[in-house]
Amino acid sequence: MSDVESFIRFCESEFGTAVMDREAAYVKQHVDTDDRILDVGCGIGSLEERFPDHEMIGVDRSEAIIQAAQDRVTAPFVLGDATALPIAAASVDAVVSVSTLEFIPDIGAVLAEATRVLAPGGTLVALMLNTRSEYVQSNLQREGSYFQRMVHRDSEALADTILEYIEGDQEFFLGISDEQVFESTDPSKAAISAVVGTLPE
């Protein structure tokens, strides 16, 4: 099974749907309805699917993933790399990234690009797998897990790096246990580390 096929299978599963519903709800709390949003590492458009009333552009470096997204959702999708975004400077109100940054080696280049395309006062919402959580740790040790592709395995250090570029805070949410999703802000239980902040004007 290809990466795209296994990702689609996850997204369409009951567990995957619950996770992405909660992630989308979190993002919605931090963006305005009239914001122009850039989704970096958009995958198959799961977030775009949940934001039908927002202007959202998805960017991903995989041609197969972009094709799958275009087949599923009517939002605009662009083939491009997070370290060299094909987007004009200061042209979006919000940059969102869901479970992407921890997989990209050159995080400095990604954050420089994210802040370049953000308008002054714009919002960055970065959701990352929380490596302090039992759920992420167990998956990192599981043979064949996609989590084993993570480059940045210290989510605290990654959050600190992001906060060098924006003014904001880190918080935890989305508890996961045995594919059950529940509310939790406990770093040992919450699978997601979220950093939200604004670009200084």
Express each pLDDT in 20-71 by its tens digit.
999 999 999 999 999 999 999 999 999 999 999 999 999 999 999 999 999 9
Residue 6 pLDDT? 84
Q: What is the rounded CA–CA span in Å between residue 132 and residue 41?
A: 23
The predicted-structure confidence for 66-89, as pLDDT tens digits, reads as follows 999 999 999 999 999 999 999 999
Give the confidence band of 104 by pLDDT, cuts at 50, 70, 90: very high
pLDDT of residue 80: 96
Judge: domain 3-198, CATH 3.40.250.10: no
Give the model's pLDDT for residue 179: 86
pLDDT (0 to 100) of residue 201: 80
* Confidence category of residue 1, pLDDT binned at 50, 70, 90: low
SS3 breakdown of the chain: % helix, strand, coil, rounded to 5?
Answer: 35, 30, 35
For residue 192, the model assigns a pLDDT of 97
SS3 160: helix
> For the whole prediction, is pTM greater than 0.75?
yes
Rounded to whole angstroms, the Cα distance separating 134 from 80 reads 33
The stretch 160-164 carries a mean pLDDT of 97
Q: With CA atoms as reference, report the closest residue to 40 among 75, 79, 90.
A: 79
Q: pLDDT tens-digit profile of 125-141?
A: 999 999 999 999 999 99
Give SS3 for 201: coil
Rounded to an integer, what distance in angstroms lies between the CA atom of residue 144 and that of residue 19? 21
Average pLDDT, the chain: 94
Q: pLDDT-derived band of residue 162, with 50, 70 and 90 as boundaries?
A: very high
